Structure 1
Amino acid sequence: MKIPRRLATLALYIAMGGCRVTSSAQDAGGETPQQKLQRLSAAVAQAQAQMQAYQAQLQELQKQLGDLQSQLQPATVAPAPAPLAATTASTQNAMDEIRERQAIQEAQIATHDQAKVETESKYPVKLSGLILFNAFVNTRRVDDTVDPTYALPGSGTTGFSVRQTILGLEANGPHLFGATSHADVHVDFFGNGSQATYGSTGILRLRTAHGSLRWKNTEAFVALDRSLLAPNMPTSLVATAQPVFSWSGDLWTWNPQIGLTHELALTGSKRLRLQAALIDPQDPLLPNTTSTATSTRSEKGRWPGIEERIAFAAGDRFKGPEFGVGGYFSPHRTGTGRRFDAWAITADARLPIGKHVEITSNVYRGAALGGLGGGGYVDYFYLDPQTAERAYALRAAGGWAQLKVKPSERLQFNGGFGIDNPFGSDIRLVRATPSTAYSGLTKNRSAFGNVIFSPSAYLLFSVEYRRLWSDYLDGIPQHADNIGVSAGYRF
């Protein structure tokens, strides 16, 4: 960039003027012509240095303005350097546009502040949810027509439902002991009850709830959620009220818990996650049944259950590989005062393969797992139902695995298989008793495949096929096919 001639002349004139004044003063003192010439040369050199500094500053200013213009108005081909006046005008226009947008956003925020619902604590609360419409076809009778888990003898059903709609509230609260506080609660309309009126399509049901204090590597929490033993969830839009592998390999039930999670950093992004909690497992109930008991068998045992999990993880918290093992123990007591113990050992894995494929799995083996979602809806049985002298915890094993293929952020394909298998040797003990008191499943399996398409962040569509195989103590095995179509709006 060249300095304008007038600017250079002005700078030289100022320098010469300064020299002239100085020279006149020194003439009075008898300065020689040689000294005058030296002083004049020094003044000229100083003026040139100042002009070079001005030139450098102007070049830097032009570069900064050019960078700002390219950020505000990106182009595929870099434009030729524009004159300083044109660049300044373009930048001024861009700044005016930014100010105008900022004014509009401030007006919108002011309107929002006037219309928002204010909490008593004054901390922000976020409302979220999923309005979910389901259409279903069941080829045979199932336990729940909207979201089935096992097959029964009888004819099929067809219908629509919005009972799987989910509403949620999330809040971030004050800091305590250096930790941030967080809470959330989610409900749906999948509760049981009479639908005698035309407007009734489901009863509000508490799904999950969390409250936590979060430090950098540690979290203390209370929760109503699935067990620590089963961190992975199968992916389905058709089955949200109950996971797609409920009672066929997924220990999914939501139980009250209080616990701690701590992460130990290893090399790079690798880390160990240590988790432990106390849990109050519920009693298993067949679908559409209610209980009149005022306390659970775990509560009658007078001690809460204990669960723990150790996992190795790497990379992203929700997408990187993770492998875990867990354990569970809970003393129980029946209504007649007989004791039995519930226990489990588990393993889980999440294995991404490249950018578009992922395998997830949970497996378990234990006893009296009905409260966690296993064991065919049964915790225990009496070897002699007439005397009820001894309660025997039903042993079971099971698990599930899913393959996810996600070619893009908007499209994914999922498929998997799950099985819950109470031990045959325990079932034969029940069969040998004079009076049969076993009402659960002897084996339950399910397989599914679905496609989920999300044209935007707020719209979801899915088609799913599920196959159920269910075995019973007395009777032939039953099977049913479930075809579901879902459309959801997330907010």
Structure 2
Amino acid sequence: MNKQPRDSKRFESSLRVELAKTMLWCLSFCVFANAPFLRAQTQTDDLKAMREEMALMRREIDALKEEVHQLKSGGSAPGATTTSAAAPSQERYAAPELAEPTVPSSEEQPSPAEAIPMLQAQLAEHAQTKVESNSKMPVKIFGTIVFNSFFNSGEANWLENPNTVGGPPAAGLPSGSFSATLRQSRIGAIIDGPQVGSMRTNGFIAVDFFGGIPNFQTGQVMGLPRLLYGYMRLEGGRTAIEVGQDQMILAPRNPTSLAAMSFPDLYRSGNLYLRVPQARIEHTMATGKAGELLMVGGIVAPVAGDFAGIYSFVPPNLAGERSRRPAVQGRLAWRARPRSADRSLELGFSGHYGSEQFVSGAVSSWATALDLDASVGRFGLGGEWYVGKNIAAFGGSLGQFAKSAGGFVEGRFRATPRLEFNSGVGRDRLFDMSLFPAALEGNTGIYANTIFRWTPEVASSLEYRWLSTDPTQNAARRNNHVNFVLTYSF
């Protein structure tokens, strides 16, 4: 009677073992069968977390954009006053636009294994180490590597960027030249400063390598640095104060060109231009539905343009400095507020007055200029016209002490967002030569270029320039200049 219960217990124990084995086998099968799903689930979770992080980053970027938009609409954004009041040169620097991080739509979503590396790369890009200044204020480094390969048929004064034509070469030498250079490359920094009362502070500095070459066998490839810009600004809602070296207030327009970044196209052929130390105030005088009235005025260093010696360690005391007073410049402009974003119009009137001290006595330097810039859709038009006396420092009178009048006009056409065409003509001509005799009486320049932007960072250009310099006594000197340009901005 005891044997049957004992067999029953043994049977139940054996049944439990078999059942446990069966359950363990089923569980193992389920785990292995669903392993790919679990791995995909893990990747999906990682992808989801990264997408959430990217979405948060996009919201932060949108918030920053909104804040910048509000600041601009209030007139206190850095550069807003700069553009409106002074209309500074467009050739200060070229920097690529920063692209927003993008997350593919649900229809284009890649697999988790493909998406995770892409998102990690985007996160690493936004987490890159920033430049840190000694003052702990934000600093942005920018620059443009500029490669020029050029040809001249005549005796160009500056081989890679000519503005006048010299006389014939020595006997036995052919006319013309060909070479390549990177002297127009530039580098600089933008500094965002602290708040001073109700005004924001910022700084800007840029240099290129167009400051000459050393006295060495291969000095052509050793371009010396040259200060282009270096200034500090305080910017409020309608007023800005600037101290430093910037483009002068007089005649601020310049032709569009990648081949002429050291000095703009048509310099000494109807385009007045100088970067000079100054102190100026910019103010938006009135605003309305039709447009706004802008004013800028200041004092500039008395540079007479009479230094023609060899390299000097310190600036000499010449006619401008001996006047013992700064020059005065001002500009009044009206900017339209068009109904569409692809239209713009700005008309400005500017003036200059200074003094230069010679052995024979003090001589005045003055100029007045009218400038225009307009665009409608893909088409644009710009230019300036002037008359002045003793404006050699600005490229007027072909760098001579005389009276002259001139100007230039430029046409622009943007075929596509990447491709544009620009062309212009300028002329500088002396008058009252019986009272102000000079060796050269006129200079004419014509240019045409095409610019193609391969990416926001990489651009190329091909430019043709025709120059004709007219001596007072002899026949005109002519030069055909062809320039291929490749730039990389960072």
Deviations 1:461-487 (A, max 9, x none): 000000001012332210100000000
2:370 corresponds to 1:362: no
Runs of 4+ in 1 over 6 A off after TM superposition: 90-93, 100-114, 316-319
Structure 2 residue aligned with 1:186, among 185, 206, 217?
Answer: 206
> Is 2:342–2:377's contact at 8 Å kept on the other side of the alignment?
no
Query: Could you say what secondary structure the match of 1:190 adopts?
Result: coil
Change (3 A) 1:397 1:430: closer
CA distance in 2, matches of 1:190, 1:318: 36
- Paired AA for residue 333 in structure 1: Q
- Paired AA for residue 429 in structure 2: N
Q: Which residues in structure 2 correspond to 1:47-446 (within 5 Å)?
A: 97-99=51-53, 115-154=129-168, 155-194=175-214, 196=216, 198=218, 200-268=221-289, 270-284=291-305, 294-315=316-337, 320-334=344-358, 336=359, 338-352=361-375, 354-379=376-401, 394-423=402-431, 426-429=432-435, 441-446=440-445
TM-score with structure 2 setting the length = 0.71
CA distance in 2, matches of 1:158, 1:429: 40
- Paired AA for residue 339 in structure 1: A
CA distance in 1, matches of 2:253, 2:400: 23
Cα displacement (A) at 1:233:
1.4
CA distance in 2, matches of 1:319, 1:255: 32
CA distance in 2, matches of 1:208, 1:131: 17
Query: Which residue is 1:86 aligned to?
Result: none
Query: Could you say what secondary structure the match of 1:99 adopts?
Result: helix
Change (3 A) 1:451 1:288: farther
TM-score with structure 1 setting the length = 0.71
Query: Could you say what secondary structure the match of 1:427 adopts?
Result: coil
Cα displacement (A) at 1:188:
0.6
Query: Which residue is 1:477 aligned to?
Result: 476
Deviations 1:359-389 (A, max 9, x none): 001111111111222111123xxxxxxxxxx
Query: Could you say what secondary structure the match of 1:122 adopts?
Result: coil
CA distance in 1, matches of 2:325, 2:213: 32
Percent identity of equivalent pairs: 27
CA distance in 1, matches of 2:307, 2:487: 28
Cα displacement (A) at 1:259:
0.8
Give the superposed CA RMSD: 2.9
Deviations 1:230-286 (A, max 9, x none): 221110111111111111111111111111010134322610001101011423258
Deviations 1:82-108 (A, max 9, x none): xxxxxxxx9997566223787998998
- Paired AA for residue 182 in structure 1: N
Change (3 A) 1:430 1:365: closer
Cα displacement (A) at 1:134:
0.5
CA distance in 1, matches of 2:468, 2:119: 56
Change (3 A) 1:305 1:100: closer
- Paired AA for residue 488 in structure 1: T
CA distance in 2, matches of 1:319, 1:338: 50
Query: Which residue is 1:459 aligned to?
Result: 458
CA distance in 2, matches of 1:457, 1:486: 16
Change (3 A) 1:290 1:470: farther
Q: Number of paired residues?
A: 377
> Is 1:192–1:288's contact at 8 Å kept on the other side of the alignment?
no
Change (3 A) 1:297 1:365: same
Cα displacement (A) at 1:346:
1.0
> Is 2:398–2:443's contact at 8 Å kept on the other side of the alignment?
yes
Change (3 A) 1:430 1:213: closer
Cα displacement (A) at 1:177:
2.2
CA distance in 1, matches of 2:448, 2:142: 27
- Paired AA for residue 257 in structure 2: S
- Paired AA for residue 404 in structure 2: A
Change (3 A) 1:440 1:105: farther
Cα displacement (A) at 1:345:
1.2
CA distance in 2, matches of 1:106, 1:224: 43
- Paired AA for residue 358 in structure 1: G
> Is 1:195–1:202's contact at 8 Å kept on the other side of the alignment?
no
- Paired AA for residue 210 in structure 2: F
CA distance in 1, matches of 2:426, 2:370: 15
Query: Which residue is 2:92 aligned to?
Result: none
Cα displacement (A) at 1:227:
1.8
- Paired AA for residue 428 in structure 1: S
Change (3 A) 1:157 1:222: same
Q: Relative CO higher for 1 or 2, CA cutoff 8 Å, sep ≥ 6?
A: 2
Cα displacement (A) at 1:182:
1.1
- Ranges in structure 2 where 5+ consecutive residues have no aligned partner: 1-43, 58-117, 169-174
> Is 1:149–1:247's contact at 8 Å kept on the other side of the alignment?
yes
